[in-house]
Amino acid sequence: MTETDRPEPDVDVVVVGAGIAGLYLIYRLSRAGYRLRVFEAADDLGGTWYWNRYPGARVDVPSIDYMYSFDPDWQRDWQWSEKYARQPEILRYLNHVADKHDLRRHLTFSTRVRQAGWDDDASLWRVRTDRGDDVTARFVVMATGCLSVPKQTEIDGLERFTGEVYFTSRWPHDPVDFTGKRVAVIGTGSSGVQSIPIIAQEARQVVVFQRTPTFSIPAHNGQLSPERLAQFAANEADYRSAARMSPGGIPMERSITPTFSVTETEREQRYERAWEIGELFEAINVYADVMSNPAANHEFAEFFRNKIRAIVDDPQTATDLCPTDYPVATKRPCLDTNYYATYNLPHVRLVNIRKHPIRQVTETGIDTTDESFTFDAIVFATGFDAVTGAITEVDIRGRNGLALKDKWANGPQTYLGLTTAGFPNLFLITGPGSPSVLSNMAVSIEQHVDWVLDCLGHLCARGFAVIEPTETAETGWTQHVSDCADITLFPAANSWYMGANVPGKPRVFLPYCAGVDFYRASCDEVVAHDYLGFTLSGRGGTECNDGVVRRLQPDVEMVLNRMAAMNLPTMESMPVEDARAFYNQMSAVRPPGPDVGEIVDGTLPGTSGALAYRLYRPPTTPGPRPIIVYFHGGGWVVGDAISDDPLCRDLCVRSDAIVISADYRHAPEHRFPAAVDDAMAAVRWVADNAEALGGIPGLLAVCGWNAGGGLAAVVCRLARDMGGPNIIGQALLTPSTDGDMARASFTDNADGYGLTTALVRWLYDHYIDIADRRDPRFAPLRATDLSGLPPAIVVTAEFDPVRDDGDAYAIALEAAGVPTEHVRARGHTHKSVTMVDVAISGAPVRARIAKALRQFFAATRTPEPAS
């Protein structure tokens, strides 16, 4: 079918849902002149705030932040009555906005979209509803909400119960009177925490059935804080813009202070302040590493637990209310008013159903395994099939009849959380892979809708009718979303963020957790690069600038961004002495790395005088350990025995071996092959003195990073050829193994990833003459025979000029019959894997290095039985 043959659709856009997202879509689409239909299952607008009318329902983000920003004169006709508005007020606000901007006329209520199918020939969607509508549209936008599909009850016998049954997520419109009644509440997430204190004010008896306790902080509701009001009043436009560029959608500086970099007293004061302020985002932001460092998180969690113990009178109830099996904030924390104190009331009781599981609902109440309760009413506050539930509930069929539900059977895949491959012209507002539920959703929704509108405008202006993400872009984004989660503690909890609350739902971290600011930057970058990762087609032909928008590990990218912002001079622009001072200065501000059992500084005889070494002994049981001789990085020019201190500590602890970081002479004072001679001398000395150093004679491996990785490789070959010492394994971390700068990695990664090609050239030139660069003592890759070398682990980094050197060396070792584990560190740079406690994504790579070293030692300790 040609473009001109194509049938005109009934409308340009079908929008599903009339919550905050649906309403803003109507505002933008109608003003831009699009023809639209908007279907809403409820009989009125408001979404979340239409459905969740339970007692105590209110926002957990200050109202002044949780509102639209598109209406600059809103203050003329609207005022928030308190810091955290209640549900009726929010619903009134949404109705007010709809009326003020005449949005209601586009809405079709009491109509559920059941099906949406893509007609590839006609390039349009056919949308069907439960009321018989059959509408064709060029685009479909799912504004169906992240928390709009209530979870099934999963508790036997509910149909037998003769009393009243309520779901917080489907609360009746008429007020429910609990006066004098015996009420059960099941569920202690945000909805339970908000409703329990209010229900307890009326009811004769309240029994709360708790499966997992929650972390909750007091909301201290009332007037908005004077600081925020002042900030807001000074300039609303700046305030809103700061919200858009913030981590969570509320103006706030991201904390960069690690927990344990300040004193215990200071930390206690900081936690106390967060408790007093009563704002969730503020609380999570107390220290930079609360969501990534288990020890930091544990301390913060303990602060919460102490608060609970201090409020709740009955010690057993207090213990049951203290969460202990997941890190704080890995499940959505709650904001409450008198939640914990409610358990001090004589008619309120907590039943820990992990200890006393619910057996069934009976005609008159609830039976646990060891008690029968009688109730007049049961309230279910049991949550939602979150993020994906409302999307997969609709039978959405993309190209070739592919069902979205099937495509997402093992977890959702999206590009930017906004689109999904195989489903052209389908947009998801706050879909999986967007910051959505981890952010102030009002800000995220506006950003999504704005992006969609810009995209439609672009298609129209360029004569394109269809847009669809590529598999490459989608796979890249899905990987990035998961990388972001993997450097946090989020995956450690059985949360609805992980899909863990719904039996059978795949365990995938659903939202994007790197922040609204980073997310927005990605969306903007995609547009700036001609819709990177999208295929656009139509009258104007087909265009695709395929690619992946985020390829670096998220924490590595943050470090690089921070370094770039500092605008530091390059080392190669400095005299060598200054470069060394600069290198040391940069090293001084790193986190120290883990504690080891003992550190001993000493000297050993080099080929031309004493060489410094630092010995790290593991903190485990006393007794001799295997030894790893480590050679530091620094391109033969900078660095010393202690310059890789955090890495050596980490290596020592993880491998449970003694690490001896041995210095070597540096260029330009001592050019090639001085460093090699010293490295060889160091290994010999350590082997000869293994026992005195606390080592196990014969259990000696070498390791090195960068130039040190090259030295470790060279030493292995020299030891083989010189008849000793016996080295049983080699761990080479982004090693320099060749002098050939014509390799692609030198051009692909010439700039921007820490080690630049210009710096490599500067280091080579200081160290070695061009004529010597094929000497295998500099370029072990050039050795004619690599057979018989010790087993190896070779780590290469994706964004590293010397990546191809290392790759080639790993391949050459394998080809020579050397057992070799080749780890390609995806999204890493030359240095990032060594950044202990800074680039958390490097930790699994270091764990693999340590594991390999342990295996080298174990294989030597336990010889293979004779066959």
Q: Residue numbers of the site for ligand FAD (CB under 6 A)?
A: 16-22, 39-42, 47-48, 50, 52, 57, 59-61, 66, 112-113, 143-148, 191, 390, 394, 429-430, 440-441, 445
Angle formed at CA 418 by CA 412 and CA 424, multiple of 5 degrees = 90
Q: Does 186 bind ligand NAP (CB under 6 A)?
A: yes
The residue (of 47 and 806) whose beta carbon lies closer to ligand FAD is 47
CA distances from 474 to 27, 387, 417, 535, 825 (A): 29, 18, 9, 12, 20
Give me the least distance between CB of 103 and ligand FAD, in Å please. 13
Binding mask 437-456 for ligand NAP (x = CB under 6 A): x-------------------
Q: Which residues contact 483 (CB under 8 A, 6 or more apart)?
A: 553, 554, 827, 841
For residue 771, give both structure tokens. Answer: 């004529």
Looking at beta carbons only, is 194 or 796 nearer to ligand NAP?
A: 194
In sequence order, which residues have a C-beta less than 8 Å from that of residue 770 and are 6 or more positions away?
none
Write out the H or E segment, with its range, that includes residue 72. none
CA diameter of the chain = 94
Q: Which of 95, 188, 444, 535 binds ligand NAP (CB under 6 A)?
A: 188
Contact between 492 and ligand NAP by CB under 6 A: the answer reads no
147 binds ligand NAP (CB under 6 A): yes
* 420: partner contacted, choices ligand NAP, ligand FAD, none (Cβ within 5-8 A by kind): none
Query: Which residues in 375-394 contact ligand NAP (CB under 6 A)?
Result: 381-384
Q: Which one-letter amino acid corresponds to residue 167?
A: F
855-860 own/partner pairs: CB under 8 Å, 24+ apart = 855/729, 856/701, 856/728, 856/729, 856/790, 856/791, 857/626, 857/657, 857/699, 857/701, 857/728, 857/729, 859/728, 859/791, 860/698, 860/699, 860/728
Stretch that binds ligand NAP, among 187-195, 365-373, 530-538, 652-660 (CB under 6 A): 187-195
Which of 496, 531, 613, 664 contacts ligand NAP by CB under 6 A? 496
DSSP string, 3-38: TTTSPPPSEEEEEE--SHHHHHHHHHHHHTT--EEE
**Residue of 240, 332, 505, 666 interacting with ligand NAP (CB under 6 A):** 332
Taking the least distance from each CB to ligand FAD, the nearer of 150 and 606 is: 150
Please select the residue that binds ligand NAP; options are 63, 69, 205, 212, rule is CB under 6 A. 212
Q: 53 near 83, Cβ under 8 Å?
A: no
Q: Which of 388, 440, 380 is nearest to 149 (CA)?
A: 388
Does position 220 interact with ligand NAP (CB under 6 A)? The reply is: no
Q: Rounded to the nearest whole angstrom, what is the least distance from the CB of residue 496 to ligand NAP in the complex?
A: 5
Beta bridge partners of 464: 538
**Shortest distance, CB of residue 485 to ligand FAD, whole angstroms?**
19
β-partners of residue 825 are 797
Select from 96-104, 181-189, 468-476, 739-747 the region that touches ligand NAP (CB under 6 A).
181-189
Q: How far is the CB of 477 from ligand NAP (least distance, A)?
A: 23
- Which one of residues 62, 192, 633, 704 is an interface residue with ligand NAP (CB under 6 A)? 192
Nearest to 644 by CA among 687, 600, 584: 584
Residues from 333 through 352 that contact ligand NAP (CB under 6 A): 335
Q: Which does 308 bind (CB under 5 to 8 A by kind): ligand FAD, ligand NAP, none?
A: none
154 lies in the site for ligand NAP, by CB under 6 A: yes
Nearest distance in Å: CB 621, ligand NAP: 39
* Residue given tokens 């290198």 in the structure block: 583
Q: CA torsion, points 591, 594, 595, 598, in degrees to nearest 10?
A: -100
Residue 205 Cβ vs ligand NAP, minimum distance, rounded to whole Å: 19
Residue 430 binds what, of ligand FAD, ligand NAP, none (CB under 5 to 8 Å, by partner type)?
Answer: ligand FAD
> What string of DSSP letters covers 181-205?
-EEEEE--SHHHHHHHHHHHHH-SE
Distance CA 851, CA 855 (A): 6
Looking at the Cβ atoms of 143 and 797, the one nearer to ligand FAD is 143
Return the range that interacts with ligand NAP (CB under 6 A); candidates 24-32, 180-188, 742-750, 764-772: 180-188
AA identity, residue 282? E
How many CB atoms are closer than 10 A to CB 547?
14
- Measured from the CB atom, the residue of 452 and 679 that comes closer to ligand FAD is 452
Q: Which is nearer to ligand NAP, 206 or 658 (CB)?
A: 206
Residue in 122, 155, 277, 548 binding ligand NAP, rule: CB under 6 A = 155
Q: Any idea what the Cα angle at residue 459 is, between residues 453 and 465, rounded to 5°?
A: 115
**Per CB under 6 A, does 189 bind ligand NAP?**
yes
- How far is it, in rounded angstroms, from Cα 582 to Cα 195? 58
Q: Which amino acid is at 633?
A: G
- 67, 20 contact by CB (below 8 A): no
Nearest residue to 731 (alpha-carbon basis) of 654, 820, 830, 603: 820
86 binds ligand NAP (CB under 6 A): no
Interaction partner, residue 116 (ligand FAD, ligand NAP, none; CB < 5-8 Å by kind): none
In the list ligand NAP, ligand FAD, none, the entry touching 155 (Cβ below 5 to 8 angstroms by class) is: ligand NAP
**CB 478 to ligand NAP: min, Å:** 23
| Residue 783 token pair | 């050795």
Minimum CB–partner distance for residue 818 and ligand FAD (Å): 55
Binding mask 781-820 for ligand NAP (x = CB under 6 A): ----------------------------------------
| Preceding omega of 55 cis (within 30 degrees of 0) | no
> How many whole angstroms separate alpha carbon 609 and alpha carbon 8?
86
Whole-angstrom distance between the N-terminal and C-terminal Cα of the chain? 70
Rounded to whole angstroms, the Cα distance separating 848 from 371 reads 50
Q: Whole-number minimum distance, CB 652 to ligand NAP, in Å? A: 39
C-alpha dist (Å) from residue 302 to 322, 323, 326, 358, 361: 9, 9, 12, 29, 35
- 186 touches which of ligand NAP, ligand FAD, none (CB within 5 to 8 A by kind)? ligand NAP
745 contributes a contact to ligand NAP by CB under 6 A: no
Cβ at position 243, least distance to ligand FAD in Å: 12
Look at residues 464, 460, 395 and name the one whose alpha carbon lies nearest to residue 424.
Answer: 464
Long-range contacts of 674-677 (CB under 8 A, 24+ apart): 674/607, 674/608, 675/636, 675/707, 675/711, 675/767, 676/711, 676/714, 676/715, 676/718, 676/777, 676/778, 677/606, 677/607, 677/608
Q: Does 66 bind ligand NAP (CB under 6 A)?
A: no
User: Which option in ligand FAD, ligand NAP, none does residue 710 bind, with CB closer than 5 to 8 A by kind?
Assistant: none
Q: Which of 62, 145, 187, 278 binds ligand NAP (CB under 6 A)?
A: 187
Closest to ligand NAP by CB, 384 or 423:
384
Give yes or no for a contact between 748 and 713, defined as CB atoms under 8 angstroms apart. Answer: no
796 binds, among ligand NAP, ligand FAD, none (CB under 5 to 8 A by kind): none
Nearer to ligand NAP, 501 or 706 (CB): 501
Within positions 598 to 657, which residues make up the interface with ligand NAP, using CB under 6 A? none
Q: How far is the CB of 111 from ligand FAD (least distance, A)?
A: 6
Residue 356 C-beta: closest distance to ligand NAP, Å = 12
Asked if 673 touches ligand NAP (CB under 6 A), the answer is no
DSSP line for 633-699: -STTTS--TTTTHHHHHHHHHHHTSEEEEE----TTTS-TTHHHHHHHHHHHHHHHTTTTTTEEEEE
Q: How far is the CB of 19 from ligand FAD (least distance, A)?
A: 2
**Binding of ligand NAP by 359 (CB under 6 A):** no
Residues of the shown chain interacting with ligand NAP in the complex, contacts defined by CB under 6 A: 59-60, 147, 154-155, 168, 186-192, 194, 211-212, 332, 335, 353, 381-384, 437, 496, 501
